[in-house]
Amino acid sequence: MDEFLQFLFSGLTRGSIYALVGIGFAMIYNASHVINFAQGEFVMLGGMVTVYLALTAGIMPVVVAIPVAIAVTALVGLGLQKFAIEPAQSRPGGASVVTIIIITIGASIFVRGVVEVSLGKRDFVLPSFSGNEPIDVFGATLTPQSLWIFGVLAVVVTALKWFFDRTRLGKAMLATSHNRLAAQLVGIDVRTTLLVSFGVAAALGALAGVLTAPITLTRYDVGIMLGLKGFAAAILGGIGNPFGAVAGGLTLGIAEAMAGGYVSSAYQDAVAFVIILAVLFFRPTGLFGGPGVERV
């Protein structure tokens, strides 16, 4: 039982990170039907920029470095939409989905390459936010960093709910996702809406990166796996549904921790991808996606 609880905590911790990354995938997909393969690099940037500002260069305390890193990453997200995706889409005839997917892949290789060249290939450590004194819960232990992660995820989910239900911008985003042309016709500034979705997705990715850096270390290439896991979370939840992505992320995290604990730690990383295949085979709309209807 203690063992089970321990795996559960570990699964919820990593699942919350996947959830935050997955929300980013869902938001961008929602607004523009683009699968943003650079999402993982936003996660990496969050951790790496924080470490660089606070420790390597040492020009500001960690509490300041974190929001700065998130802001920097959000700017990179805006830049991706503004300077790479928008120019391709505004060409006569528009751009195919394959074209956009490849642009985001190019952006991810580019961002990773820039960090690799400027900060190097070694591991970086960010100290835990409130120490490493483990908390005993029914015989299992929970680190304070895990509590931070759970807390932040809860705040983000609440804020998103409010954003989509109560704000004009959130509603505009939902409208754009349902029908871009109709949204434009009723006076929604689709371009701004897309920009915001990239900015928010990048900021959430960076937040995930900052939160997980004290647990897993961080380096220039952590974004590849975390991005792919977040993507799996988004697919599992029914791509395009941010709250589905949260459920997908938590499910994935727990499945990984249980598989790693009870079955085989060597194949822990494969769980996410087996789940992707299973979802595509048996339930392509994801666990929480409605039946999709596509217009001709």
Partner 1 sequence: MSEGRSRWGGLVALAAVVAVLPLLLPNNFYFDVAVKIGLNAIVCVGLNLLIGYAGQISLGHAGFFALGAYASALLTRRLGVPAPLAMLAGATGVGVLAFVVARPILRLRGHYLAMATLGLGIIISIVLNRELDITGGPDGTTVPAFALGEWRITQLRDWYWIVGGGLLFTVWLSLNVIDSGVGRALRALHGSEIAATTIGIDTARYKARIFVVSAVVASIAGSLFAHAERFVTPIEAGFLRSIELVTMVVLGGMASTFGAVVGAAILTALPQALAGFHDYKHVMLGAILIGVMIFMPRGLVPTLSEMLGWRSR
Which C-beta is closer to partner 1: that of 5 or that of 95? 95
Secondary element (H or E) of residue 106: helix 97-119
- Residue 263 touching partner 1 (CB under 8 A): no
Q: Which lies closer to partner 1 via its Cβ, residue 23 or residue 153? A: 23
Q: How far is the CB of 279 from partner 1 (least distance, A)?
A: 9
Smallest separation, CB 90 to partner 1 (Å): 10
Interface with partner 1, residue 294, by CB under 8 A: yes
Q: Can you read off the two tokens belonging to residue 56?
A: 């390597």
What x-and-dash track marks residues 62-101 binding partner 1 by CB under 8 A?
A: ----------------------x--xx--x---xxxxx-x
Q: How far apart are CA 211 and CA 135, in angstroms?
A: 18
CA–chain centroid gap for 69, Å, is 15
Question: What tokens were used for 259?
Answer: 């598989």
| Exposure string for 285-295, b = 16+ CB within 10 A, e = fewer | bbeebeeeeee
Answer yes or no whether residue 270 interacts with partner 1 by CB under 8 A: yes
Residue 247 to residues 23, 83, 204, 232, 243: CA-CA distances in angstroms? 10, 33, 16, 12, 7
| Closer to partner 1 by Cβ: residue 68 or 105 | 105
Beta carbons within 8 Å of 1's beta carbon, 6+ residues apart: 138, 139
Asked if 164 is part of the footprint of partner 1 (rule: CB under 8 A), the reply reads no
Identify the CA nearest to 21 among candidates 190, 156, 114.
156
Nearer of residues 114 and 195 to partner 1, judged by Cβ: 114
Distances (CA, A) of 138 to 14, 112, 132, 142, 144: 20, 42, 18, 10, 16
The reply on whether position 14 binds partner 1 by CB under 8 A is: no
Residue 189 as a binder of partner 1 (CB under 8 A): the answer is no
Residue appearing with tokens 């897309």 = 194
Q: Measured from the CB atom, is 11 or 223 closer to partner 1?
A: 223
CB of 22 to partner 1, least distance (A): 13
Task: Select the residue interacting with partner 1 from 6, 30, 39, 112 (CB under 8 A).
Answer: 112
The site for partner 1 (CB under 8 A) is made up of 35, 84, 87-88, 91, 95-99, 101-103, 105-114, 116-117, 224, 228, 231-232, 235, 266-267, 269-270, 272-274, 276-277, 280-281, 284, 294, 296
